[in-house]
Chains A and B, each alone.
Chain A
Amino acid sequence: MEEVKEQTSSLPRLGDPAPAFEAVTTHGILKLQDFKGSWLVLFSHPADFTPVCTTEFIAFAEIHPALRKRGVELLGLSVDSVSSHIAWVRNVEEKTGTKIPFPIIADLSKEVSLAYGMIHPGQSKTETVRCVFIIDDKQIIRTILYYPLTTGRNMQEILRIIDALQTTDADAVATPANWRPGDMVVVPPPSTQEAAEERVKQNYECVDWYLCKKKL
């Protein structure tokens, strides 16, 4: 019970600096700060050589070029050894022809998993659940997704979130439900009565003063 309490209290939150780490990976020893200047998708999977994880790794490899175009790196993690990771990625390549181009943390000590709240004892006391941390180029946590052990992740949603975050940063706007690049964006709501009155005179598409959209 104490262990569960400790893990819950250390869960990182949106807007927090990403917890620093130095970890053994399939690409050597990597530190969080090595990724500074790039966006990072840090994701955990329950275990190597398991079916859902294998489908996810192939899917992550497929979106890797699209992520790199957006300045985003991928970093996997599970509580397995680096030898297990190497054997698994070699097996995936041999059986499916998909090369896994990104590093995977071998978190046998669970140091990184616990720092990021990736172990949810209600799901498993030993395996990480399917977490996704989207960390920006300043190493601030911008999105956290948790999926249960039995549900594989949706790669298009991960790309969509990154597009939305980067659009928000570039243009100081928000993105509406089901937004995709090219769709209209939401203009931030006015904070004063005067701004609200001026808002309706702008060339925005408004439902009312608090919900206005524009094309970028």
Chain B
Amino acid sequence: MACVSPDGKPTGSGTKMLRAIKSGAGFPEEIAKDTGLPIFRVRSGLRELTQAGLVELKSDNYVLTENGSELIE
């Protein structure tokens, strides 16, 4: 996986995305702008981060879960 390692921890690009979400970016386009990652990487990365339980979709906005918040503190 590109954004989450087999051990469940975020990769470099996964960490970038988590940081962008923490700083308020909630839409894929905003996360792409903040991280400099192409939009296709952000969309696929958000799927991975969601499956790993690190982010969740709330009212059309991506936000960190408790686990996601702990990982980037």
Contacts and interface: CB of A to CB of B under 8 A. Distances in A.
Interface of A: 27-31, 33-35, 37-38, 68, 73
Contacts of B43: 31, 33-34
A31 B39 contact: no
Interface in B5-58: 38-41, 43-45, 47-48
Contacts, number: 31
B44 A29 contact: yes
Contact of A73 (B2, B3, B40, B45): B40
B50 to A, nearest CB: 13
A35 B40 contact: yes
B36 to A, nearest CB: 11
A35 B43 CA distance: 9
Contacts of B1: 28-29
Contact of B39 (A27, A28, A38): A38
A38 B44 CA distance: 14
Contacts of A27: 2, 41, 44
Contacts of A28: 1-3, 44-45, 48
Contacts of A33: 43
Contact of B44 (A31, A37, A73): A31
Contacts of A29: 1, 44, 47-48
